Amino acid sequence: MSWKSYNQSLVRYPQHGFSLDLSMMDIEPAYVAALQPKISKAFADMVAVESGAIANPDEGRMVGHYWLRNAALAPTGELQKAITEPIAALKAFAEKVHTGAIIPPAGGHFQQVLLIGIGGSALGPQLVSEAIGQNARLPLYFFDNTDPAGMDSVIARLSQVGLSKTLVLVISKSGGTAETRNGMLEAKAAYEAAGLDFGRHAAAVTGTGSKLDQYAKQLGFIATFPMEDWIGGRTSVLSTVGLVPAALQGLDIDALLAGAAAMDVETRKQDPTQNAAMQLAIAWHCATNGKGEKDMVVLPYKDSLVLFSKYLQQLVMESLGKELDLDGQPAHQGIAVYGNKGSTDQHAYVQQLRDGVNNFFATFIEVRKGRSGPSIEVDPGTSTADYLQGFLRGTRKALYESGRKSLTISIPEVSPFQLGLLIALFERTVSFYASLVNINAYHQPGVEAGKKAAGAFLETLNKVRGHLTADAKTADEIAIETDADPEDVYHCLTHLSANGEVQISIGATPAEDSFQI
């Protein structure tokens, strides 16, 4: 590491205040030279993606998230309209909600929003809300799981202002995801318990004709916005999925889109040395040996970016974590991503990063501006912002000195434009990296399998329910009666016991525990 290598390795876009410092990644020129044919292919793949090729072969779909911030690039007029018309509609909708042209049945204005979604239908909106939603016109709350206690706690918080003043936004591309459906039904029940008509407080973002779309029509939802099949969940933050909640919060969605468009312009450059996304993809390849051999630790030194690591975790791991490559050969690809924020994490896992197992590379995100407005001196001449910078600079140096690699992304502030830049940077990096390692970044067979996984348990659970009696029975006895695996039956029984449906008498081992109504 040296001043010279900093100058040589830096990719910067001064007009946006953005820079990417790879000097602490120690990427050998020979490594990049050997990768050159794959780099050229990655650029060609990207041109094909942006031209509307079927870049997601398993699902036979185009991959259109890059068009969302410049609809003119979408290959047909129909696709362009599928971007511009919903944006106009969602802006008009948010405006009407804000001005009171759309009001709740009980009168007054909608004052808060409950977003129900999961995965790509929640993580992007959560990131945007946390990063730039501090002074939101309508604060955003989330159901992003099927945990009843979690939902109760959100409903309790919403009830302080009142469900009658809460707009519910149900987001599901497929319109059939169990967690989201359950959340919607729980919310509906809470509205009905409060004597409110759920449909007249609800809007949806979903694929046209999906189950949710049909349900929204049946219940007379206030509005429905389309989600196109050529946008993946984890790359949907700049589609209706992210823009409807952002507009309802009163955020500058044009600036968010402009930031992403600006990064797209930079990262379409065919010169890899000037292309921050390609530089990042090469850095990931070099750090992980193109096989995910090291984890990526994401450390934004800014509280408002605390969800960026969680957002990136999905974007990277759901896109790159694949069993087979594009030729159908076993690949078991991926890069594990975790993180939180600095300097907080310096008092948690950074100890291991510095001194323990060297199985990671760090991604520092530096936000140069500390705060708007003046700062006090916490030491003579020194502010808290100075400390934050000091901890970031000190930690990356300390890591490097103990042989740990890192890269640093610097932005001037966390604004809608800068957030758009960051989102677009990582979306394109993921696409480039997927090309470098020859995998389909745009499907999610593991997620689809997971969506079906609960079915078997629920089937056994219902069979077990049907065999409970006032006479005590063991899991083995019920397993014989239901022709099920005794361990599965046992877990059903402990679940029923914890939820008050059956009484448990503890034996010496689980096999001797008995259950009765």
- The residue from 166, 177, 415, 429 that contacts ligand PA5 (CB under 6 A) is 177
Least CB distance to ligand PA5 at residue 261 (A): 22
Catalytic position from the list 318, 443, 463, 473:
318
- Rg over alpha carbons for the chain, rounded to the nearest Å, is 25
Residue 232 binds ligand PA5 (CB under 6 A):
yes
Select from 241, 227, 215 the least CA-distant residue to 423.
241
Residue 506 tokens read as: 């503890």
Residue 181 binds ligand PA5 (CB under 6 A):
no
- The residue from 64, 86, 104, 119 that contacts ligand PA5 (CB under 6 A) is 119
What's CA 269's distance to the chain center, in Å?
A: 27
Q: Which stretch binds ligand PA5 (CB under 6 A): 227-235, 285-293, 340-348, 371-379?
A: 227-235
Residue 318 binds ligand PA5 (CB under 6 A):
yes
* Residue with token string 């090291």: 294
Q: Which stretch binds ligand PA5 (CB under 6 A): 117-125, 152-160, 414-422, 495-503?
A: 117-125
Secondary structure string (H, E, C) spanning 245-301? HHHHCCCCHHHHHHHHHHHHHHHCCCCHHHCHHHHHHHHHHHHHCCCCCCEEEEEEC
Q: Cα-flanking dihedrals φ and ψ of residue 141, to 5°? A: -120, 160
Site for ligand PA5, residues 398 to 457, rule: CB under 6 A: 444, 447
Name the DSSP letter for residue 138: S
Residue 385 binds ligand PA5 (CB under 6 A):
no
Contact map string, positions 22 to 61, toward ligand PA5, x by CB under 6 A: ----------------------------------------
Largest CA distance in the chain: 80
Q: Which stretch binds ligand PA5 (CB under 6 A): 64-72, 125-133, 169-177, 262-270?
A: 169-177
CA 292 to each of CA 279, 287, 288, 466: distance values in angstroms, whole numbers, following the listed order: 17, 8, 5, 47
Residue 172 binds ligand PA5 (CB under 6 A):
yes
Q: Which stretch binds ligand PA5 (CB under 6 A): 10-18, 148-156, 170-178, 214-222?
A: 170-178
Which residue is at the shortest CB distance from ligand PA5?
Answer: 233
Q: Mark whether 285 is an active-site residue.
A: no
Pairing of strands 140-143, 166-172: unpaired
- The residue from 86, 104, 124, 233 that contacts ligand PA5 (CB under 6 A) is 233
d(CA 42, CA 58): 19
Q: Mark whether 318 is an active-site residue.
A: yes
At 505, is the secondary structure helix, strand, or coil?
A: strand
Catalytic position from the list 16, 269, 369, 451:
451
CB atoms under 10 Å from CB of 402, counted, come to 11
Q: Mark whether 451 is an active-site residue.
A: yes
Residue 379 tokens read as: 């030491």
Binding residues for ligand PA5, per CB under 6 A?
118-121, 172-174, 177, 180, 232-234, 318, 444, 447
| Catalytic site positions | 318, 347, 451
